[in-house]
Amino acid sequence: MPKSVCSCVCLAVACEICSVLYSAAEYCAPVWSRSAHISQVDVQLNSTVRLISGTFRSTPLLWLPVLSNIEPPALQRKAATDKLVEKIVKYDSWPIQPDILNPPLLRLTPRKLLWLDLQPVDIKSRWRHNWKSAQVVNSHLVCGPTIRQPGFDLPRQQWSLLNRFRTEQGHCGACRRKWRLTDTDLCPCGETQTMSHIVESCPLTILNGGLSRLHSADEDAVSLLTSYCS
């Protein structure tokens, strides 16, 4: 099997595994999704997505679901809760229905009670709204966070590098200095080397069209990624 085909197959399998992992992690989510310890589950899910997408720990969290094309964990848990509430309202014989529709009086300070958030949410619409309203680096590159981004079928090495350019977190002088791997953040051209500088202004590696063209993963963009990996 050719190396490129093998890489694509491995990437597809990895994304499927990630989807299964999310499903297992969200099991019975309506019960525990309001726990104070929910962040510990998200830490593990984010770690898995970083591994698959080839991104670093410093990558903004809002980028991870977009790159992996998997809904954010919080929205998945909300969807699971909405589905359960829909069933509770539908079946009068369920003993839990009066507790949801006619909740008891509060005796303690409430903390994210289930019956205080019964309004169903469309995951994709909320995801688009959250992405549009958030201040995320290079968010203008993404037309829609709910669709697979260009280059999703590239070999893993090129796809990982592309994701690092998109998120501004990769092996460049600025990041390596921030990570204390080097004492200088200068590019061979003499300017401060960031991921965007490499493709937009460095005379040694500039790509016509800059980061926007690289994001499109067209033939020239893939050629630059391939040469950069070698």
112 occurs within a structural domain: yes
158 occurs within a structural domain: no
Please tell me whether residues 34 and 93 are part of one structural domain: yes
| Cβ neighbours of residue 48 closer than 8 Å, sequence gap 6 or more | 18, 21
Please tell me whether residues 22 and 104 are part of one structural domain: yes
Please tell me whether residues 90 and 180 are part of one structural domain: no
- What is the C-alpha radius of gyration for the chain, rounded to an integer number of angstroms? 22
156 occurs within a structural domain: no
Please tell me whether residues 131 and 217 are part of one structural domain: no
Please tell me whether residues 217 and 111 are part of one structural domain: no
Residue 186: phi and psi, rounded to 5, are -85, 145
Please tell me whether residues 119 and 31 are part of one structural domain: yes
Query: One digit per residue, pLDDT tens: the chain, 230 residues?
Result: 444 444 454 556 666 666 677 777 778 888 888 888 888 888 888 988 898 888 999 999 999 999 988 889 889 888 888 888 888 888 988 888 888 888 877 777 666 777 777 788 899 999 999 999 988 999 999 999 999 999 988 888 999 999 999 999 999 999 999 999 999 999 999 999 999 999 999 999 899 999 999 999 999 999 989 988 77
Alpha-carbon gap, residue 30 to 78, rounded angstroms: 8
Number of structural domains (the chain) is 2
147 occurs within a structural domain: no
Domain that includes residue 19, residue range: 3-141
Please tell me whether residues 17 and 66 are part of one structural domain: yes
Domain stop point among 141, 159, 180? 141
Please tell me whether residues 27 and 79 are part of one structural domain: yes
Query: Among 82, 55, 68, which Cα is nearest to 20's?
Result: 68
pTM: 0.83
